[in-house]
Amino acid sequence: MTTKPDEPSISDRELVLTRLIDAPREKLYRAWTDPALLRQWFAPSPYSTPHAELDVRPGGATLVVMQGPDGTQMPNRGVYLDVVPNERLVFTDAFVAAWEPSPKPFMTVILTFEDEGSKTRYTARVRHWTVADREMHEQMGFHQGWGICADQLAALVTKAG
């Protein structure tokens, strides 16, 4: 696929975070798909995740509510596009439920969980509709926020038990 000279490429609209996590990919996948586990790590501290509904299947809706230290709630709605257990999750906020279009689509997230020896290469690719959306997400603190969340996820999945 080629782009016209005036069209931004995917790389111009994408932010990527990757970590090598000392846990099997099944644990990382479960932490993304089990609401009780997701609530423990999803929002960068001091934010929290008081509510999570996850219908993990292509076309299934997701609602994750983050809460700021001041009590402000930020609901994040979306739909799963692709689900390959223990390997990949793809979801977007372009739809809010049952293929109902979002008033302002912002991103599609592609998560991959790949074996790397006894560890897992965790990669989050966040693709935005526009370069301006990507820039805004970067300015909002994508690398720091998603990095804190990845560290919290790693801490959860590497716990004994």
Q: Which tens digit of pLDDT belongs to each residue from 143-154?
A: 999 999 999 999
Alpha helices in the chain (DSSP H): 25-33, 35-41, 131-139, 142-157
Is residue 14 within 8 A of residue 127, CB to CB? The reply is yes
Tokens found for residue 63: 């609602």
CATH number of 15-157: 3.30.530.20
- Delimit the domains of the chain by residue range: 15-157
**Mind listing the pLDDT tens digit for each residue in 73-119?**
999 999 999 999 999 999 999 999 888 999 999 999 999 999 999 99
C-alpha closest to that of 156 among 22, 20, 17: 22
- 51 Cβ contact partners less than 8 Å away, ≥ 6 residues apart: 39, 63, 64, 65
- pTM of the complete model: 0.91
Residues 117 and 114: their CA atoms lie apart, in Å, by 10
Q: What is the pLDDT of residues 122-141, one digit of tens each?
A: 999 999 999 999 999 999 99
The count of other CB atoms within 10 Å of the CB of residue 79 is: 22
Helix (H/G/I), strand (E/B), else coil: 32: helix
